[in-house]
Structure 1
Amino acid sequence: MHGVAVSGLLARTLELAVHDLGRGDLVPARYQVDLFRPARMIGTTARATVVREGPRLVLVDAVIEQDGEIMARASATFLQPTKAPATTVWTSPDDRPTPPPPELLPAAGEHHVPIFASERPWSNNFTEHQNSGRHQTWQTAMPIVADEECTPFQAVASIADATSMVVNWGRGGVEFINTDIGLALSRLPEDTSLGLRVTDHVTSDGVAVGTAEVFDRSGVFGTATVTSLANTRRTVDFSGSEWDGSRDHPGAGA
């Protein structure tokens, strides 16, 4: 089972736990996933535990289980928005990512093969983006549960699995495998379409840390991180990918 589905299901479980508390005044601000077993395409259950509920925050843990074994776990902090102080603090430079041109995108809300930019401009041609340039992607999330609308939190949590793609994809392919997903959010995305752009990648002795900025049509609203291990024996090589841009926005499953 793809990490998109695993992360999305964990986010849904956390979100429902906060909803069941009647805390519609809170928004997700921190989300952390540990991916330690490969989830299979079999019956899957998820459960959440409220760790702490306070006036301005709720801490929740969740796990996914298959055949009685825990396959992945997540934790999240939900905070109560408030008025921002007038203090001026340092922020990143004005170089901020923007979505692909509208003519490259399908109708709003329609799921599509991820679109990438790197040394080459935006396209869904995976092969041409196998280079050492600065990678970014734009995606529209799929529903996590059949016949259930995907929420903005589920969307950003599931698409965050693509952080490994944008931070670890180089000229030789994706030669690392991520062991986790981390999100820090200042707000929710405005809808279920959003992007990721790498901001840094550092590695030592086969252990890599990658960071990406998370953005939607209104701008950057968070940061995604992954910790990865070198995985050269199972490199994901897109140099001969079937997604060569010859078909317009074909559907893809999670």
Structure 2
Amino acid sequence: MPMDPALRDAFALFVLDGDVLVPQDIARSLWKADQMHGVATCGALGRAAERAIDELGRGDLQPARFTVDLFRAPSMNPCTTRVEVLREGSRIAVLEAFLEQDGEDVAAARVLFLKPGDSPSGEVWTSPEILTPPPLEIAPPTDDPRPPHFCSDTGWSQDFSAHQNAGRKQMWQVALPIVAGEETSPFAGLAGAADTTSMVMNWGSQGVEHINTDVTLSISRLPVSAEVGMAALTWHTNDGIATGTAAVYDREGVFGTSSVVSLANTRRSVDFTSDAVLGHIESA
């Protein structure tokens, strides 16, 4: 049975006050009590860009790349968005969306929309790896919000502390609603979920010790539902700077990648074995 709409709204990242986005508690970061996390930031920017494309009447285009620069830590204060059209052509549109708080921009996204068409017949190499969601008995299909499932050296589970290891991470999640009372589109939900790439890439034996400064989502189609998976592909670090790329997939297969560049943040790492962090997750 689908979740009651009032309960679903409790999982929304924002409520609207006119045109102002007011963060709900679920948008609070694990890094700092008065900091809004990147899922909320990216979700708000994805929503703004998609609404702008709709206003242009360009339903023939679909999102293909979503790049966010997280250049200032957003607070839990109300925020607004604005969008500029950088280029619009017959098969392409490029938009730039900004998230503003207290009169300053805290993040910006450049979003590429393309017009789909017929694919060429030539064969091109692709990875033979097949990525699959957790077994149905562990994670039955749903669009209702729920805690994410993780896979590492210990197999699939929703036990955060069990995955604090150096194993390759996979994550299966249901995208959170962006705004209470609104239907969240597949792209807006995915845009928000893209920020969790940092967790998939940077979570190791001592917790998450790098904080991402950006995220780049590249997709060949939209997800078929609110459920989306990510699996670590590459991770490299030198001198406190890390880069990582994850495959993005759903119940029909892989349809893109998501990459992050991160800075070491060991003085304020996120330890998923600590009572404080686990308590915050449970309360959210």
- Normalised-by-shorter TM-score class: over 0.9
The answer as to whether partners of 1:155 and 1:193 remain within 8 angstroms in 2 is no
The answer as to whether partners of 2:270 and 2:277 remain within 8 angstroms in 1 is no
Among 46, 51, 54, the alignment partner of 1:11 is: 46
User: In 2, distance between residues paired with 1:198 and 1:76?
Assistant: 23
User: In 2, distance between residues paired with 1:251 and 1:191?
Assistant: 25
Which runs of structure 1 show a deviation greater than 6 angstroms over 4 or more consecutive aligned residues?
Answer: none
5+ residue gaps in structure 1? 245-249
Task: Note if 1:29 corresponds to 2:47.
Answer: no
Range moving further from structure 2, 3-12 or 141-150:
141-150
- Secondary structure (helix, strand or coil) at the match of 1:76 reads strand
Corresponding position of 1:198 = 232
The answer as to whether partners of 1:43 and 1:66 remain within 8 angstroms in 2 is yes
Q: Cα distance, 1:155 vs. partner?
A: 1.4
User: In 1, distance between residues paired with 2:139 and 2:283?
Assistant: 15
Among 175, 179, 203, the alignment partner of 1:141 is: 175
RMSD between superposed Cα atoms in Å? 1.6
User: In 2, distance between residues paired with 1:126 and 1:240?
Assistant: 10
Corresponding position of 2:162 = 128
Q: Closer, same or farther in 2 for the Cα pair 1:183/1:37, shift >3 Å?
A: same
The answer as to whether partners of 1:185 and 1:222 remain within 8 angstroms in 2 is yes
Q: Cα distance, 1:172 vs. partner?
A: 1.1
User: In 2, distance between residues paired with 1:100 and 1:252?
Assistant: 25
Q: Cα distance, 1:70 vs. partner?
A: 0.4
Corresponding position of 1:76 = 111
- Secondary structure (helix, strand or coil) at the match of 1:142 reads coil
Q: Cα distance, 1:252 vs. partner?
A: 6.9
Corresponding position of 2:121 = 86
Among 67, 70, 77, the alignment partner of 1:42 is: 77
Corresponding position of 2:150 = 116
Matches within 5 A, 1:162-177: 162-177=196-211
User: In 1, distance between residues paired with 2:140 and 2:71?
Assistant: 35
Range moving further from structure 2, 98-107 or 158-167:
98-107
Letter in 2 for 1:167: M
- Secondary structure (helix, strand or coil) at the match of 2:77 reads coil
The answer as to whether partners of 2:236 and 2:244 remain within 8 angstroms in 1 is yes
Corresponding position of 1:247 = none
5+ residue gaps in structure 2? 1-35
Among 118, 132, 139, the alignment partner of 1:105 is: 139
Matches within 5 A, 1:213-232: 213-232=247-266
CA deviations 1:40-88 (Å, max 9, x no partner) are: 2221100101111000000000000011110100001100001000011
User: In 2, distance between residues paired with 1:112 and 1:147?
Assistant: 18
TM-score (norm 2): 0.84
Task: Tell me the matched-pair count.
Answer: 247
Corresponding position of 2:190 = 156
- Secondary structure (helix, strand or coil) at the match of 2:146 reads coil
User: In 2, distance between residues paired with 1:43 and 1:173?
Assistant: 30
Q: Closer, same or farther in 2 for the Cα pair 1:103/1:23, shift >3 Å?
A: same
The answer as to whether partners of 1:106 and 1:112 remain within 8 angstroms in 2 is no
Letter in 2 for 1:127: S
Q: Cα distance, 1:103 vs. partner?
A: 2.0
The answer as to whether partners of 1:113 and 1:252 remain within 8 angstroms in 2 is no
The answer as to whether partners of 1:209 and 1:225 remain within 8 angstroms in 2 is yes
User: In 1, distance between residues paired with 2:266 and 2:52?
Assistant: 39
Percent sequence identity over aligned pairs: 51
Q: Cα distance, 1:240 vs. partner?
A: 3.1
TM-score (norm 1): 0.93
Corresponding position of 2:37 = 2
